[in-house]
Structure 1
Amino acid sequence: MTRRIGFTGDVMLGRLVDDRQRERSVDAVWGTVLERLRGLDALVINLECVLSTRGREWRRTHRPFHFRADPDWAIPALERAGVDVCALANNHVLDYEAVALRDTLEGLDEAGIARTGAGETIDESLEPAVVTVDGGARGGTGDELELAVVAFTDNTPEYAADEESPGTAWIDIDTDDAEAKRRVREALSRARESDPDLLVASLHWGPNMVTEPPESFREFGRWLIEDGVDVVHGHSAHVFQGIEVHDGRPIMYDTGDFVDDYAVDDELRNDRGFLFELDVTADGVPTELRLRPTEIDGCAVHEAGPAAAEWARDRMRELSAPLGTEFERDGEALVLSLES
């Protein structure tokens, strides 16, 4: 039985999103995509905020933006969408200092939502998120699939965890950096202890509003696949980037933004993106990646309208062609076959 695993870019539930959610239903943030999210067999997101009402804004270094959401609505909203894994290796998990990060970790743990990429120490940050995926869209009776996710970031080194301090699993994205490769391999080794059928590396890498990955990221993504990773789940740029297939495995260099309150660039259209749906066989072989166009409006995510969907499809084709990737069209979605 095939499993369908969903991936999103940044999910930022703070600021205006948080304000709006205090006046509307818990699941309103998911707009018109809620049922599609709930129909997935598993869902992996990058959580781009802390879930807490405590703490003070980070002031030890200059940080222009600070993101947090009230866990009283945010955690139920994640549950309603069926989020299984939150990648936390990003540049906002210490926006309200360690107390808010601890609230986030504890809240996700209490809700049974797996998390990876940040923790009380670097040792905890390197621990994988491991979940068992049942077939049949969450209520199925098919064979189970073990999913393991590790997460890293090259953003905001001052948020890096160490042996005694909380923070992120920070690395320098460079295949020539022996320490970065050692740290990644340590996390992958821990993930393999669960004997996963599908191994995902979730990377919050690179600067904002950049439409193409640098060659160093391409080298790093291919190295991850060659080292046994099945899916590279990139994010950070706030705009989606092209997709490359290496040894039959997808490298999503940047999955863009899924929901937030950000100002919209009229040219780069950071309000437009995709829900990325990966079909995987029962023994963990990716067979197809389906891209469903989305757009952000009113601090919520929606299925994209015809014009926005066409723009996103054309843009993804344009960005992916230099990476050797071509898509088929199925309704509003783009489809990438991963079978040779």
Structure 2
Amino acid sequence: MGGELVTLFLAGDVMLGRGVDQILPHPGDPALPEAYVTDARTYVELAEAVNGTIPRRAPFTWPWGEALDLLDAAAPDARILNLETSVTQSDDVAPGKAVHYRMHPANLPCLAAARPDASVLANNHVLDYGRPGLAETLDSLAAAGLRTAGAGQDLEEARRPAALSLSGNRRLLVHSLGMASSGIPHSWAATADRSGIDLSDEASDAAAAEVTGRIRQAKRSGDLVVVSVHWGSNWGYAVPRDQIRFAHALVDGGADVVHGHSSHHPRPFEVYRGHPVFYGCGDLIDDYEGIGGHEQYRDDLRLLYLISLEPDTGRLDHARLVPLQAHRMRLRHASREDTGWLHEVLARTSRAFATHITHDPEGTLTVRPPQGP
């Protein structure tokens, strides 16, 4: 089966809660159960101290900034992101966590502005306000016509992939799972009679076999498969060996793309057997602009991932990575200097995976599969 390339937009963490929620038209209760910051508006003030005034009651499109025009120009066949916040007014605070994210359900048009085809939810913040908060999150997203994967009222629902339509009567299946290594409490795991997320304790061979078994069961001829995984620490470029083995096992078992996230900055990329593996896509939207402590990672720099796959094999033709910068809680084009810095870091850290990243004058980073046998 031939045809045009299938282009996917992938994003890392999209966090529309806390400070971001406070600048939108319908801010929720700003009270936070955090040890050091008790008012979400403080995160807006910290960002303003760094880069200048941020409008209150900003339009729903504000946080996306220049990313929306870039996405419209790219016209991807599907848009997939990790929604790293609960969507609720619940006050049922999850115990034992240092950070809690929630956005007011009335601010969901902000998410909808990016027109996501699937929002993956198996992460370490979707139950920040308890199972009542998860129920409201799922109901709010469904009522807004926003499709999800990775969380549900029971394990069967949490493990059900989002099935997106592609041309030629084919589908894109999006599986979402979280790992305990990203800070997800074990109690958040969905069971046969309890809501929650699809949670794996570790990136083990057994866990990979379970996921690939589900891929084989759901995948039909012509389908493409994305496995979206929330795993690992927030900072650093090293990729643990168990994550590499897990990603390879997913591809060997039928996944076409491994969409990893949790890190606050982009991590190395790999093209394994012709298929793209993103070990950490980094944050796309958050309220971290005024928070110091890890400046060496330049977490103000963000990437849009535009992945073009061969339609009949699911193999990577090329990936375009578009650098952006968070400024006044809004995404804008990264400068030439910042793009060059990001290119150097990602090219160097991805070298161990034999990944070659080029940088064009327009400010786009490009990844192509290795040549040769």
Kept in 2, the 8 Å contact 1:8–1:276? The answer is: yes
- Count of residues in Structure 1 that have an aligned counterpart in Structure 2: 326
8 A Cα contact 1:122 1:166, kept in partner: yes
Of 297, 309, 312, the match for 2:342: 312
Does the CA contact (< 8 Å) of 2:82 and 2:119 recur in 1? yes
- SS state at 1:93 partner: coil
| Equivalent of residue 41 in structure 1, options 59, 65, 77 | 77
Mark the CA change 1:101 to 1:147 in structure 2 (over 3 Å): closer, same or farther: same
Structure 2 unaligned regions, length at least 5 = 26-56
Distance 1:213 1:84 in 2: 29
Question: Which of residues 198, 204, 207 is equivalent to 2:230?
Answer: 204
Task: Measure how far apart 1:281 and its partner are.
Answer: 3.4
Superposition pairs of residues 94-113 of structure 1, within 5 angstroms: 94-113=127-146
Deviation at 1:107, TM superposition (A): 2.1
1:116/1:126 contact within 8 Å kept: yes
Unaligned runs of 5+ in 1: 135-142
Letter of the 2:152 counterpart: G
What whole-Å deviation, never above 9, does each CA across 1:115-173 have from its counterpart, x for those lacking one?
A: 11111111111100111135xxxxxxxx4542111011113222111122111111133
CA distance in structure 1 between the partners assigned to 2:209 and 2:338 by the alignment: 42
Give the SS at the match of 1:81: coil
Once the two structures are TM-superposed, the CA of residue 213 in structure 1 deviates from its matched residue by 1.0
Say yes or no: does 1:335 pair with 2:366.
yes
Q: Work out the percentage of aligned pairs sharing the same amino acid.
A: 31
State the AA in 1 paired with 2:61.
D
Of 192, 198, 202 in structure 2, the residue corresponding to residue 169 of structure 1 is: 198
Q: Distance in 1 between matches of 2:170 and 2:139?
A: 26
Counterpart Cα distance in 2 of 1:148 and 1:195: 12
Residue pairs, 1:142-157, within 5 angstroms: 143=168, 145-155=170-180, 156=184, 157=186
Question: Per-residue deviation at 1:207?
Answer: 1.5
1:42–1:82 CA contact under 8 A, matched in 2: no
Output one character per residue of 1:304-338: Cα deviation in whole Å (capped at 9) or x when no partner: 12222221111111110111111222321111123
Secondary structure of the corresponding residue to residue 267 of structure 1: helix
Is the 8 Å Cα contact of residues 150 and 187 (structure 1) preserved in structure 2? no
Matched, 1:280 2:346: no
**Letter of the 2:19 counterpart:** L
Asked if 1:184 corresponds to 2:211, the answer is: yes
Alpha-carbon deviations, 1:56-101, whole Å to 9, x = none?
2112xx1011101112122x22222111111111001110111221
- Match 1:159 to one of 156, 170, 188: 188
CA drift at 1:110: 2.5
Instruction: Indicate conservation of the 8 Å contact 1:144/1:282, yes or no.
Output: no
TM-score (norm. length: structure 2):
0.83
Distance 1:327 1:78 in 2: 30
Point out the more displaced range, 30-39 or 311-320.
30-39
SS at match of 1:123: helix
Which residue number corresponds to residue 93 of structure 2? 57
- Deviation of 1:195 after TM superposition, in Å, equals 4.8
1:225 to 1:282, Cα distance in 2 relative to 1, 3 A: closer
* Separation of aligned partners in 2, 1:70 and 1:306: 36
Taking the TM superposition and a 5 Å limit, the aligned residue runs for 1:214-229 are 214-229=240-255
Q: Does 1:127 align with 2:160?
A: yes
Q: Say which SS state the counterpart of residue 318 (structure 2) adopts.
A: strand
Q: 1:240: how far off?
A: 1.1
Question: Match for residue 52 of structure 2?
Answer: none
Distance 1:322 1:339 in 2: 13
Q: Secondary structure at the match of 1:288?
A: strand
Please state whether the residue corresponding to 1:78 is helix, strand or coil.
helix
Q: Give the letter aligned to residue 305 of structure 2.
A: F
Q: Is the 8 A contact 1:260 1:300 kept in 2?
A: no
